[in-house]
Amino acid sequence: MDSKNLYQEVILDHNRKPRNWGRLADASHRAEGLNPLCGDHIWLSLKLDGDRVGAIAFEGESCAICKASSSMMTASVKGRSVGEAEELIREFRDMATGKLDAASQPNQLGRLSVFAGVRDLPARVKCAILPWHTLHAALNAEATVSTEGDRDPVAAADS
């Protein structure tokens, strides 16, 4: 694939100006996501308002793919129910690992389909999925996740 397909303006924009950047002081759920091989490291905090994601924020150090994925994820799940967020997590993983073709199969991904190109870059799939895996961990009260070992998001997506 050509980098123009992955490094689209929307991804570059979210990388330059990440939305929902920071940490929530009154978070009900938190998780830390780490990709030790490439050094992506993010902290996610969110506050549930009943069954809905009332507020969500992230910060960390990462590549453009991970940062843009985090930023767009926070914008996408804010206001959604936990069940809807989990469904989006599943769809994003499936798209990034090539199991869901966002262009031809029904899904809720919308603008998130700009990340479809990572499926051709195995070394970068983890960068895109890390925030989603971290969100899943936060919603399920796991403190930290790593892309390595049995919590590998790609392995998790395959299981």
Partner 1 sequence: MNAGSQAAQALKPAALDAEELRTDFPILGVKVNGRPLVYLDNAASSQMPRQVIDRLTQYQTREHANIHRGVHFLSETATAAYEGARAKIQRFINAAEVREVIYTHGTTDSLNLVMHGYGRAFVGAGDEIIVSQLEHHSNIVPWQMLCEEKGAKLRVIPCNDAGELLLDEYGALFNARTKLVAVTHVSNALGTINPVKDMIATAHRHGVPVLVDGAQAVPHMKIDVQDLDCDFYAFSSHKMCGPTGVGILYGKAALLEKMRPFEGGGDMILSVTFEKTIYNAIPYKFEAGTPPIAGAIGLGEAVDYLESVGMARIAAHEHDLLAHATESLGRIRDVRIIGTARDKAGVLSFTLKGVHPHDVGTILNEEGVAVRTGHHCAQPVMQRFGIPATARASFYFYNTMAEVDALVAGIQKVRKIFG
Binding residues for partner 1, rule: CB under 8 A, are 1-3, 6-7, 12, 15-16, 37-39, 41, 61-65, 121, 123-124, 127
Phi, psi torsion values for 122, nearest 5 degrees: -50, -35
Buried (b) or exposed (e) across 19-29, using 16+ Cβ within 10 A? Answer: bbeeebeebeb
Residue 30, SS3 per DSSP: strand
Q: How far is the CB of 69 from partner 1 (least distance, A)?
A: 13
Q: How far is the CB of 151 from partner 1 (least distance, A)?
A: 20
Nearer to partner 1, 3 or 104 (CB): 3
Buried (b) or exposed (e) across 45-66, using 16+ Cβ within 10 A? Answer: bbbbeeeebebbbbbbebbebb
Phi, psi torsion values for 109, nearest 5 degrees: -70, -35
Q: What is the CA radius of gyration of the chain?
A: 14
Nearer to partner 1, 62 or 70 (CB): 62
Nearer to partner 1, 48 or 121 (CB): 121
Q: How far is the CB of 113 from partner 1 (least distance, A)?
A: 19
Nearer to partner 1, 7 or 28 (CB): 7
Q: How far is the CB of 89 from partner 1 (least distance, A)?
A: 22
